[in-house]
Amino acid sequence: MIIRHPYPHEVETIRGLFAAEVAAGLMLPRSPEQILRHLGDWLVAEEEGQIVGCVSLVFFNGTLAEVRSLAVRSDQRGRGIGSRLVEAAVRQAQERGVRRVLALTRAAGLFERLGFVRDAVGNFPEKVWRDCAPCPFRHRCDEIALVLELMPGETDHDLLCAPGISTGRVSVRLEA
Ligand SMILES: CC(C)(COP(=O)(O)OP(=O)(O)OC[C@H]1O[C@@H](n2cnc3c(N)ncnc32)[C@H](O)[C@@H]1OP(=O)(O)O)[C@@H](O)C(=O)NCCC(=O)NCCS
């Protein structure tokens, strides 16, 4: 499996990975335009020529990024693909100088295994103002906020020491 940036023609495949969750009101939709505009902030997992998972990073400022739109094709779940996508996204965030990576999710265990710790979304006013206030699910949000703190000036080696993050397991080929 490789993890790489998606190509523009893969946008609909990406949307298809979480279309059922969007229809069920469990995930927010991402329009083709939104995805295309920030294609470099998305990663996909490719296996045997097929896209089996995706994740995106949303940058709030120089120091905070959110892992968003994590999804794995339904017949491929439970094999560690989601965890590897999160690991790769964290490395991307770190390379961009981010200090804290936020996630709002129902799959808290997956993130906790990677070193994320539970927090209150209210501690992230950037997130609340931009996304939660206009969110249609804001009055029935059952997502858990988790954060991973990255040490300033961390090298890739240092990140290896963070609980759960093991860079060696992911082959990241980044090409737009
Ligand atoms: C969440 C998701 C990306 C995980 O991908 P994956 O490849 O199955 O992830 P991994 O194999 O690395 O880890 C699976 C773990 O996530 C947990 N998990 C997956 N979905 C979950 C959910 N909705 N609620 C709680 N835990 C969940 C599984 O129980 C499993 O935990 P376990 O190992 O303790 O049994 C995948 O299940 C998915 O695409 N779900 C639909 C989209 C979605 O809900 N995305 C939001 C996540 S932020």
Please work out whether the CB of residue 45 comes within 6 Å of at least one atom of ligand 1: no
Pull the structure tokens for residue 170. Answer: 């992911």
Examine the pLDDT at 168 and tell me if it is beyond 60. Answer: no
Query: In whole angstroms, what is the distance from residue 89 CA to residue 17 CA?
Result: 17
In this prediction, residue 173 carries a pLDDT of 46
Q: pLDDT tens-digit profile of 76-117?
A: 999 999 999 999 999 999 999 999 999 999 999 999 999 999
Mean pLDDT of 133-144: 81
Find the radius of gyration of the CA atoms of the chain: 15
Q: pLDDT tens-digit profile of 141-161?
A: 888 999 999 976 544 544 444
How many A from CA of 78 to the centre of ligand 1? 7
CB 10 within 8 A of CB 39: no
How many A from CA of 72 to the centre of ligand 1? 8
Please work out whether the CB of residue 164 comes within 6 Å of at least one atom of ligand 1: no
In this prediction, residue 77 carries a pLDDT of 97
Which residue is it, tokens 């296996």? 47
Please work out whether the CB of residue 122 comes within 6 Å of at least one atom of ligand 1: no
Domains (range + CATH), the chain: 2-169 (3.40.630.30)
Terminal alpha carbon distance of the chain = 17
How many A from CA of 46 to the centre of ligand 1? 18
pTM, entire model: 0.86
In this prediction, residue 174 carries a pLDDT of 46
Please work out whether the CB of residue 148 comes within 6 Å of at least one atom of ligand 1: no
Examine the pLDDT at 58 and tell me if it is beyond 60. Answer: yes
Query: In whole angstroms, what is the distance from residue 96 CA to residue 102 CA?
Result: 15
